[in-house]
Amino acid sequence: MCPSPLHWNSVCNPRTVAACLVRRRRFFFNSIEGSELGSCNGFCCPYGIVSDLRFQFGYMCIHRMYVCLWVTSMVACGLTNLNFVLFCIGILSIFQIFKPQLLKGRFGWLKFLLPTPKPKNILAVSSCVERVVVVWTAGLDIRQLNEQGDSGEMHFRNYSKCSGKIDHDPSCSGFRMLDADFFSDAKMLEIQKGAEELNIPIIRSNRKLVASVNGGLENPSSLVFRSAWNHDHAQDAPKRFDYPSLSGVERPESDEDIAFMSILELGQLIKSKQITSEELVRIFLNRLKRYPLLYAIQCLCILVKFIASIILLFTAAGPLHGIPYGLKDIIAVPHYKTTWGSKSFKNQVLDIEAWVYKRLKSAGAVLLAKLVTGSLAYDDIWFGGRTRNPWNIEEYSTGSSAGPAASTSAGLVPFAIGSETAGSITYPAARCVLNPIYSQDKLGPFSRDAAGCAVVLDVIRGKDPDDLSSRDIPFSDPFAVDITKLNVGYLEDAEMDVVEKLRSKGVNMIPFKLNYSVDSAQGILNFTMDVDMLAHFDEWQRSGKDDDYEAQDQWPLELRRARVVPAVDYVQAQRARGKLIREVRDNFKVHSFVGNATDWELVCVGNLVGMPVIVIPTGFKPISDAPTNNTRRRATITTGIYAPPDHDHIALALAMAYQSVTDHHKQHPPIDDLGPEDSIPNPPTRTIPPRQLRGL
């Protein structure tokens, strides 16, 4: 039985009426066929549909022409032959002309077929034919739109936006209810396709994982997660690390060798007055200016020498006292641009001192440069180009912290600060051979060795008073960890050289596997990250500035899909995250584990759970398709050492133990010195596609 007709807003185009009808036709037949997008395979009285035509057009006084309209509507639904309708139109037109004669005698029973108006001339034919042809035209459009609709494609004709045009198309209505009808038709179709391919599978997976009839008692709806696991309690009061004292450190003869010294070594040179901070600033400024081909520098701090002298006068001596560094260009510093790597914000100056900048300044570190980030912190493409890999200049660094990674690897700065959400630190670190570490705060250092990471982390850790989500974490001292008391697991894809080296240092190494029931951690990360990001850049998207984004297959696509993520399913994704955290915690029976630092699923799990990881170089290999056997370019081999949340000291201690018996971290990249038979292709011929979150 068909529902009552729903009246649509008036429109003046029969084709638009047809578009409205085809949507309603799907609604009416839904109960019969069990599918919104299927074609009608059953019989249903079409009077409810046709009566709306009478409502739309005052001149269509259809009244009792049920037979004609029934047949025409059947054509609209694809249930009968069009030639039969044309025959009916002809017969009914003849009836209209000879109406007075036909209604007499034995043809009087035909009276019920014909409308009551009393046309007495040829205009009657025109009126009747007009009524029928309008219905027939609508039927043709309905059939055409049905075919398009059943193929999965929606076509909205002659309209750039749906607002006020096709008021009751389900897609347009849905976007209007979300206050998102500012999208063009093409973008709506793009969003619809993305939602079908990515959003819906993730939604169903999360629902299957956590939805239950008990209202979520088993999986609470957490939006804020406390990462502490209580494996072993760190000390209650914050205490600075006890750094090892270096002796016998001598100043190298060349500036090149100075540029690749570690933080502790440079600090010892300053402490022993073999070099000054001003000299270090000069050395690294010259190197920053020398290698513009890396596309890693957003701006130099032009008053850095003066600032360095002022800082040294008013700060106490410490391991970072007088050491130059760089900041990823998402971190605000007064008087300098904070562009977020996007041309939409390339002239933006924020009169704000980021907390991490304040901490480093108070420790006596000297800001040398703002280093590029991928546009809006996504991958390595920014408004000035794409950051290259110092170890193979033909490749790109990947990851939004590509600027800090490439600059530190190339010896342009002793250390740099990056940020991590989904591989932004780990991917460029793995490609550029560095030692970064990130934890729950999502800011982390790049340094030439693990000890340098520990020094920087010790300075920048602590609660940000301007950030309500931050907290103090009383880390244990990584320099005081007894690694011989640790049980360390290793995944199947772990570098066995690392396993053997740690075993030789007295670490108990055992096979390990992360066990959890979540089908796709990247799906959870996709929802939580994209929705949070869209909330930040809501007006940016609404104003259409996403059309100017540097890589249209990245943030624009993901943030448009995020616009249609229901609030319920966002919370379900957070519940799934909570379930993932509990399952990983319950199965984490070791103090740490070694695994692939660039495995995409593992990267997502680490970020969702809050596991710190340090990426360390473990070797090099020849590049594929090398132009010559004598090239100095190399492909890097890295691994990751993971620890439970708030146990960064364990990962750092294991990394320092490995580096105490290896020298991979001391190697220098060739940058542009590729060898006598090799040259730099410009532009690069080898491209690395950006990472994209995929559906299930």
Angle value at C-alpha 624, between 622 and 626, nearest 5 degrees: 80
**Closest C-alpha among 103, 99, 94, 70 to residue 84:** 70
Question: What would the pLDDT profile of 619-633 be if each residue is shown by its tens digit?
Answer: 998 888 888 888 888
Least confidently predicted of 61-70, 85-94, 172-181, 464-473? 61-70
What are the DSSP calls for 229-259, one per residue? --SSPPPSS-----PPPP-S----SSHHHHH
Beta bridge partners of 510: 489
What's the confidence (pLDDT) of residue 412? 94
Tell me which fold the domain 255-514+588-666 belongs to. Answer: Amidase signature (AS) enzymes (3.90.1300)
Least confidently predicted of 56-65, 104-113, 574-583? 56-65
**Who has greater pLDDT, 12 or 479?**
479
Residue 579 has pLDDT above 50, yes or no: yes
Q: Which residue has 């907390």 as its token pair?
A: 355
Tokens for 181? 């009808």
400 membership: H or E segment, kind and range: none
Q: Please say whether the beta carbons of 226 and 581 come within 8 A.
A: no
Peptide bond into 683 cis (omega under 30): yes
What's the confidence (pLDDT) of residue 23? 36
Residue 47 has pLDDT above 50, yes or no: no
**Closest C-alpha among 509, 521, 670, 673 to residue 592:** 509
Percent of the chain scoring above 90 in pLDDT: 23
What's the confidence (pLDDT) of residue 11? 35
What's the confidence (pLDDT) of residue 425? 53
Q: How far is the C-alpha of 226 from the C-alpha of 217, rounded, in Å? A: 18
What's the confidence (pLDDT) of residue 661? 96
Q: How far is the C-alpha of 127 from the C-alpha of 211, rounded, in Å? A: 59
**Who has greater pLDDT, 304 or 423?**
304
Question: What would the pLDDT profile of 533-569 be if each residue is shown by its tens digit?
Answer: 888 888 888 888 888 887 777 778 888 888 889 888 9
> What ranges do the domains of the chain cover?
14-153, 255-514+588-666
Percent of the chain scoring above 70 in pLDDT: 63
Which band of pLDDT confidence, cut at 50, 70 and 90, is reported for residue 88? low
What's the confidence (pLDDT) of residue 123? 43
What's the confidence (pLDDT) of residue 59? 33
Q: What is the pTM of this model?
A: 0.70
Most confident of 100-114, 191-205, 311-325: 191-205
What CA dihedral angle connects 267, 272, 276 and 282, to 10 degrees?
A: -60
**Who has greater pLDDT, 53 or 235?**
235
Q: How far is CA 218 from CA 75, 226, 497, 572, in A?
A: 53, 17, 42, 13
Burial class from Cβ neighbours inside 10 Å (0-12, 13-18, 19+) for residue 125 reads middle
Which band of pLDDT confidence, cut at 50, 70 and 90, is reported for residue 489? very high
What's the confidence (pLDDT) of residue 51? 33
Residue 127 has pLDDT above 90, yes or no: no
**How many CB atoms lie under 10 A from the CB of residue 493?**
11
What's the confidence (pLDDT) of residue 307? 59
Q: What is the mean pLDDT of the chain?
A: 73
Which band of pLDDT confidence, cut at 50, 70 and 90, is reported for residue 138? very low
Most confident of 170-174, 340-344, 396-400: 340-344
What are the DSSP calls for 469-532, one per residue? T-----PPPGGG--GGG-EEEE-TTS-HHHHHHHHHTT-EEEE-------S-HHHHHHHHHHHH
Mean pLDDT to the nearest integer, 27-51:
33
**Closest C-alpha among 691, 694, 672, 690 to residue 682:** 672
Q: Which residue has 């920048």 as its token pair?
A: 460
Question: What would the pLDDT profile of 360-374 be if each residue is shown by its tens digit?
Answer: 998 999 999 899 888
Residue 297 has pLDDT above 90, yes or no: no
Q: How far is CA 139 from CA 92, 157, 319, in A?
A: 18, 16, 80
Mean pLDDT to the nearest integer, 174-195:
82
Could you report how far apart the first and last alpha carbons of the chain are, in Å?
Answer: 39
Question: What would the pLDDT profile of 250-264 be if each residue is shown by its tens digit?
Answer: 999 999 999 999 999
Angle value at C-alpha 452, between 360 and 387, nearest 5 degrees: 80
**Who has greater pLDDT, 88 or 588?**
588
Q: How far is the C-alpha of 382 from the C-alpha of 475, rounded, in Å? A: 35
Most confident of 48-62, 304-318, 474-488, 666-680: 474-488
Residue 617 has pLDDT above 70, yes or no: yes
Q: How far is the C-alpha of 675 from the C-alpha of 630, rounded, in Å? A: 7
**How many CB atoms lie under 10 A from the CB of residue 426?**
33
**Side chain identity at residue 329, one-letter code:** D
